[in-house]
Structure 1
Amino acid sequence: MHTSLILLSDFAAAAAVQPLAAPKTIPQVIDGLTGWIMGIIALVATLFLTVGALRYMSAGGDPAQAEQAKGNFKSALIGYALAVLSPAILQVLQGILGG
């Protein structure tokens, strides 16, 4: 019993010493957002690419389905371009906000 009391008091003392997290600066927040935005945009672009490929393969000579597939491919290309350019866009935003 005595050992568990010592361990419990050591745990409580270690937990009490933890400092609070300092607020993040605007550049730190923008750096964090960059990774998330790039990932989300790339994920959506990959989804469009996959849907476009499935539509194109299942078109079976139907011109309307082939055109929809091409539209999905264009959307995927735009998405990938945005994912690549998002760090630059966020840097411009950081400059505007004064970070």
Structure 2
Amino acid sequence: MWCVGVLVCGLVIAATLASAAQAHAIAAPAGDGRLQQVISNLRNVIVGLLVALATLFATIGGVRYLLAGGDPGEAEAGKRTLRNAAIGYGIAALAPVLVEILKYVVGS
């Protein structure tokens, strides 16, 4: 379940960076889009890392499930890991939407 916490922390960081970029864009001249581009690139990198982390957990969960060998406890642990990886994929897919919602709530 801690992978979901890591994903949420990544989204909060992305939202904070987007808010800072929005505040800078208001104070900066109209032609200064470099900071916006850096923030956008950084957000894309964070989402990529979230997807990579979810893929790692999906792989670990699949291996645990396959190697359970009839042990119901180990099979359930593999299923839980796969479920958490699916939640991670969902959060990574919804990251841009969640960042926009956080920007709206924060007021930037």
Aligned identity (percent) is 39
Question: Which structure has more RCO (C-alpha within 8 Å, separation ≥ 6)?
Answer: 2
1:32-79 deviations in Å (ceiling 9; x for gaps): 233122111111110111001111111000001101000111111000
The verdict on how the C-alpha distance between 1:22 and 1:74 changes in structure 2, with shifts beyond 3 A counting, is closer
Larger Rg: 1
The 1:30/1:77 distance shift into structure 2, 3 A limit, reads same
Contact map agreement 1:49 1:76 (CA 8 A) in 2? yes
Q: 1:29 to 1:23 in 2, by over 3 A?
A: closer
Please give the secondary structure, in 2, of the residue aligned with 1:24: helix
- In 1, the alpha carbon distance for the partners of 2:43 and 2:95 equals 7
Coordinate RMSD, CA, aligned? 2.2
- One-letter identity of the residue aligned with 1:57: L
| Whole-angstrom distance in 2 between the partners of 1:81 and 1:50 | 16
Structure 1 residue 92: Cα displacement: 2.1
Report how many residues are paired.
Answer: 76
Residue 22 of structure 1 deviates from its aligned partner by: 7.7
Letter in 2 for 1:79: G
TM-score after normalising by structure 2? 0.61
Corresponding residue number in structure 2 for 1:34: 43
Contact 1:48/1:72, CA 8 A, preserved across alignment: yes
TM-score (normalised: structure 1):
0.66
Structure 2 gaps of 5+ residues are 1-31
Shift of 1:24: 1.4
Question: Structure 1's 93 and 31: CA in aligned 2 closer, same or farther, altered over 3 A?
Answer: farther
1-structure distance, mates of 2:102, 2:42: 12
